[in-house]
Chain A
């Protein structure tokens, strides 16, 4: 079994996908860090101070002004205002300058779309490419069960997802540390906000160190990526063409991003996997896309989808005629 997994890993490394992914990450990172540095500069210029409290207070007032003219975003903004106010009242800087803060924001924003996209690059042709290239026959003529072959592919996929997340984390650390400096790992982060019915519940709020928060974020990001990876894995078995699999998965992810913004009245949409990818939002405390969704709920929905697609993958792969 270990040999089979290593065999799969050799194929993945041989395809140089990790290099492609690393390059994509670095290019995006340099753009984002540059943009953020510019933004910080312009805020300093506008307010004429480096005091974060002044900056945060100004943000709160700006949000309060947006409240009157923003119909459907009202609740979100209200929660954001209350959260910022809580930071302010407790004297905690929500954006302590430094690499860790940048990483925190970057993971938060990438977990729903960018990281899954990177994972798709690996997952989407893991089986279908063997079929389009014909190598699957060689693989299946070996004296190993089909189950084991598919399992080794799946394990290799999970390992690769972990490596991708690691690449993502370490590269963003290197780039942002150069840009913003290394300080702020122990800076406090407020977490445990939950929002119910447009009200911010602060009963569970507590302080954690930023490094701890980041590890937890990466844990969630990893889970999201594994789920998306598993679904792409299934598509890669069901569909002969990698492009079709990629397109389908991409459509799902993007529709998820759009749906999350507009499904608040369509309640059964909460069982769709793509609406549940915003796991990070539960930890940071913004309002869920649909009333009543919680971290536990989303995790279970995702887990069910993952197990379902695994079941489909294995049954189809073991019964399918390969020609």
Chain B
């Protein structure tokens, strides 16, 4: 009855049983008795990433960069990359946009080591920032006083300068495209007033960007000036896929144009 096969399996089972017991014991020792059996953290060797010929795009910023409101979830960044791919370019894309990001938070995010490394490798940096700084999630709509706007504006411009300096500290070559603000509240009660504020805001931001030749300010205000509701998502704040497509068209044209100019 006790064939050799069964005897073999039994002995084998016993061995595996011992092996797993050993594993369990090892875990207990490491995790519960607090005597880890390994060396402490040593920094691993840096393996050099082979640079491919692809055009590296890094997208930074708020929900517009993330693509909130776009059914396909691509946002203008995705459409820009699609268009460039259609044009036969090889694209490597990383989207670092975070919903609700404000300029101070972006400046904070850029201090991270890996973000810096990504920016350093970038050929093109796309950015949307400022929407949350100005509109404060719609709060500004009910309180459009000059004093409050000015203080928001000053704080924003200071942070924007920090962000641009941060980019240039790790990458002097890449072209930075900052997309301007549009007024999602055109058709609201205070819309007219706010439009003026947005124009002023955009003007100051573009003035600031003009100091650096490789920093391009891309206006979006005009895209959303008429029939704004056709291009906005149901939240009346973020663009929908049509709105994003319009933004992307503009940016893609600029990038393609720069490429033909012999920059790369």
Contact = CB atoms under 8 A, between A and B. Distances in A.
Contact of B54 (A49, A215, A282, A283): A49
A92 B54 contact: no
A216 interface: yes
Interface stretch (A19-27, A31-39, A160-168, A311-319): A160-168
Contact of B27 (A51, A65, A90, A219): A219
Contact of A10 (B2, B100, B113): B2
A269 B26 CA distance: 28
B192 interface: no
Given A57-B94, A206-B38, A207-B39, A188 B44 contact: yes
B253 interface: no
Interface string B1-28: 1110111011011101101111111111
Contacts of A273: none
A53 to B, nearest CB: 6
Interface stretch (B29-37, B210-218, B220-228, B232-240): B29-37
A154 interface: no
B189 interface: no
Contacts of B13: 9, 159-160, 162-163
A162 B6 contact: no
Interface residues of B, number: 59
A6 B31 contact: no
Interface stretch (B114-122, B153-161, B166-174, B243-251): B114-122
Contacts of A58: 94-96
Nearest to A46: B93
A192 interface: yes
A295 interface: yes
A89 interface: yes
**Residue from B9, B14, B90, B91 whose CB has the most chain A CB atoms within 10 Å:** B9
A118 interface: no
A208 B90 contact: no
Interface in A196-227: 204-209, 212, 215-223
Contacts of B28: 299
Contacts of A192: 31, 36
B197 to A, nearest CB: 26
Contacts of B93: 46-48
B147 interface: no
A88 interface: yes
A321 interface: no
A163 B12 contact: yes
B32 A57 contact: no
A178 interface: no
Contact of A159 (B3, B10, B113): B10
Among A3, A56, A159, max chain B CB count under 10 A is at A159
A9 B9 contact: yes
B195 interface: no
Contacts of B184: none
Contacts of A49: 52, 54, 56, 92, 94
B158 to A, nearest CB: 24
Nearest to A207: B41
Contacts of B34: 204
A153 B67 CA distance: 60
Given A48-B92, A89-B114, A61 B6 contact: no
Contacts of A162: 13-14, 16-17, 19-20
Contacts of B92: 47-49, 54
A6 to B, nearest CB: 5
A107 to B, nearest CB: 11
A61 B97 contact: yes
A179 to B, nearest CB: 23
B94 A54 contact: yes
Nearest to B25: A219
A68 to B, nearest CB: 6
Nearest to A60: B114
B95 A61 contact: yes
A129 interface: no
Given A163-B9, A188-B44, A208-B38, A219 B21 contact: yes
Interface string A116-149: 0000000000000000000000000000000000
B66 A65 contact: yes
Nearest to B59: A61
Contacts of A207: 38-42
B46 interface: yes
Contacts of A296: 32
| Nearest 4 interchain pairs by C-beta | A219-B23, A219-B24, A48-B92, A222-B20
Given A61-B98, A65-B97, A68-B100, 17 more contacts: A48-B90, A57-B94, A64-B98, A90-B41, A159-B10, A162-B14, A165-B20, A166-B16, A204-B34, A209-B38, A215-B23, A218-B23, A219-B20, A219-B26, A222-B24, A223-B20, A299-B28
12 contacts: A7-B1, A47-B94, A159-B13, A162-B19, A163-B9, A163-B12, A208-B38, A209-B38, A212-B26, A218-B20, A220-B27, A222-B23
